[in-house]
Amino acid sequence: MNILVVDDNKFIRQVVSAMIVDSGHVAIPVDGHLPALAELSKGTLDLVLMDIEMPEVNGFELTKMMRKSQPEWFPIIFLSSNDSEDYLTRGIDAGGDDYLTKPVKQVILSAKIRAMERIVQMKGALDRANKQLEILSSIDPLTQVLNRRGLEDVLANAWQENTRQEAELSLLMLDIDFFKLYNDNYGHPQGDKCLTQVASVLNKTLNRATESLARYGGEEFIIVMPFTPIDGARFKAKELNLALQTIKIKHEYSSVLPYVTMSIGIATTTHGASNISELIKQADIALYQAKKKGRNCSQVFQNKQAEQ
Ligand SMILES: [Mg+2]
């Protein structure tokens, strides 16, 4: 661990630093609050040993300053020659984690460092687990594409970015044709397999760097296409219809083709949607029109006022 030793007494800095090095750690001795805060801002400190009585800014104040400038927790241990209960209380209230009195024995200091090291490691494991959980919570477990929650985040970002840059944002809503008949006749496990295959085909046809695919629910998917005018979205929809038709997933109960196909509704921000849910609504209406048109095709949402 990288351990900062803040003390205005040169002799104490040297003795404590030597103990730290003996325990197998790196000591960074500093005198006063300015070099201490400068070290903290590098982001490489694991632990701070803090004197209390110092001429310009005392240890209580410096601890408060450090906690304010670095919201991520790291351990701070006070090292003071004052063993009063009042000092101990003030130290913990200021944001310290432990309190040792000087002169400190090597064995005590080493043990405290080990205990703090353990907490630091546990915190690291917890942070990693939380991050993993956050990623998992936005993924659909069956198809491994974004779920509705993940879609909401992506759409909110895309909407904001496109509005800021006055660009066009397009959205495709896709629905597998006659999927209920597929499930009823082939069974749900086979239905799940079909969904996974469709998601994989869609994924392969996307430009992964800019476009996002999400499972919207059941057999419905949404593709978010930032900075894409309507022509680009229409072209992509044709490409997707063709890609799915090409892999020929058997569907004898479909009246379109003996294969799994899908219908696609397209909406874009230049057609009057004033927020995300309106854009989704428009794509949904367009999807309904694509179904009515005979399925296995795409349809762009038409704003009636714009047509006049
Ligand atoms: Mg001092």
Q: Which residues pair with 26 in a beta bridge?
A: 2
- pLDDT at position 307 over 60: no
Residue 6 CA to ligand 1 center (angstroms) comes to 9
CB atoms within 10 A of CB 58: 17
Residue pLDDT, tens place only, 80-118: 999 999 999 999 999 999 999 999 999 999 999 999 999
Residue 79 CA to ligand 1 center (angstroms) comes to 9
Residue 60 CA to ligand 1 center (angstroms) comes to 12
Per-residue pLDDT band for 304 (boundaries 50, 70, 90) equals low
Residue pLDDT, tens place only, 228-272: 999 999 999 999 999 999 999 999 999 999 999 999 999 999 888
Q: What is the pLDDT of residue 208?
A: 72
Distance separating alpha carbons of residues 194 and 182, to the nearest angstrom: 9
Question: In which residue are the tokens 């661990």 written?
Answer: 1
Mean pLDDT (whole number) for 289-303: 94
Q: Are 70 and 25 in contact (CB under 8 A)?
A: no
Distance separating alpha carbons of residues 137 and 9, to the nearest angstrom: 51
**CA separation, residue 44 to residues 26, 47, 75, 110, 224 (Å):** 11, 10, 13, 20, 39
Per-residue pLDDT band for 186 (boundaries 50, 70, 90) equals very high
Average per-residue pLDDT in the chain? 94
Q: Is the CATH number of domain 148-307 3.30.70.270?
A: yes
Domains 2-131 and 148-307 share a fold: no
Q: What is the pLDDT of residue 134?
A: 84
- pLDDT at position 56 over 70: yes
Residue 15 CA to ligand 1 center (angstroms) comes to 14
Q: What is the pLDDT of residue 37?
A: 97
Residue 54 CA to ligand 1 center (angstroms) comes to 5
Residue pLDDT, tens place only, 113-153: 999 999 999 999 999 999 889 888 999 999 999 999 999 99
Residue 31 CA to ligand 1 center (angstroms) comes to 9
Residue 51 CA to ligand 1 center (angstroms) comes to 6
Residue 9 CA to ligand 1 center (angstroms) comes to 6
Angle at 43 between CA 76 and CA 132, to 5 degrees: 95
Domain boundaries, the chain: 2-131, 148-307
Residue 221 CA to ligand 1 center (angstroms) comes to 65
- pLDDT at position 182 over 80: yes
Residue 72 CA to ligand 1 center (angstroms) comes to 26
3-class DSSP string for the chain? CEEEEECCCHHHHHHHHHHHHHCCCEEEEECCHHHHHHHHHCCCCCEEEECCCCCCCCHHHHHHHHHHHCCCCCCEEEEECCCCHHHHHHHHHCCCCEEEECCCCHHHHHHHHHHHHHHHHHHHHHHHHHHHHHHHCCECCCCCCECHHHHHHHHHHHHHHHHHCCCCCEEEEEEECCHHHHHHHHCHHHHHHHHHHHHHHHHHHCCCCCCEEEEEECCEEEEEECCCCHHHHHHHHHHHHHHHHHHCCECCCCCCCCECCEEEEEEEHHHCCCCHHHHHHHHHHHHHHHHHCCCCCEEECCCHHHHC
Describe the crossing of helices 10-22 and 106-136 by its angle, rounded to 10 degrees: 70
- pLDDT at position 306 over 90: no
Mean pLDDT (whole number) for 46-59: 96
User: What dotted CATH number matches 2-131?
Assistant: 3.40.50.2300
Distance separating alpha carbons of residues 195 and 114, to the nearest angstrom: 51
Q: What is the pLDDT of residue 131?
A: 87
Residue 80 CA to ligand 1 center (angstroms) comes to 7
State both tokens at 262: 């899908």
Distance separating alpha carbons of residues 152 and 172, to the nearest angstrom: 15
Residue 90 CA to ligand 1 center (angstroms) comes to 16
Distance separating alpha carbons of residues 51 and 104, to the nearest angstrom: 12
Mean pLDDT (whole number) for 270-294: 95
Residue 62 CA to ligand 1 center (angstroms) comes to 13
- pLDDT at position 209 over 90: no
Residue 10 CA to ligand 1 center (angstroms) comes to 9
C-alpha closest to that of 37 among 63, 72, 18, 15: 63
Residue 58 CA to ligand 1 center (angstroms) comes to 8
- pLDDT at position 305 over 60: no
- pLDDT at position 170 over 50: yes
Mean pLDDT (whole number) for 281-303: 95
Residue 140 CA to ligand 1 center (angstroms) comes to 57
Distance separating alpha carbons of residues 283 and 280, to the nearest angstrom: 5
Q: What is the pLDDT of residue 71?
A: 87
Q: How far is CA 123 from the centre of its chain?
A: 18
**CA separation, residue 180 to residues 187, 191, 192, 246, 290 (Å):** 10, 9, 12, 21, 18
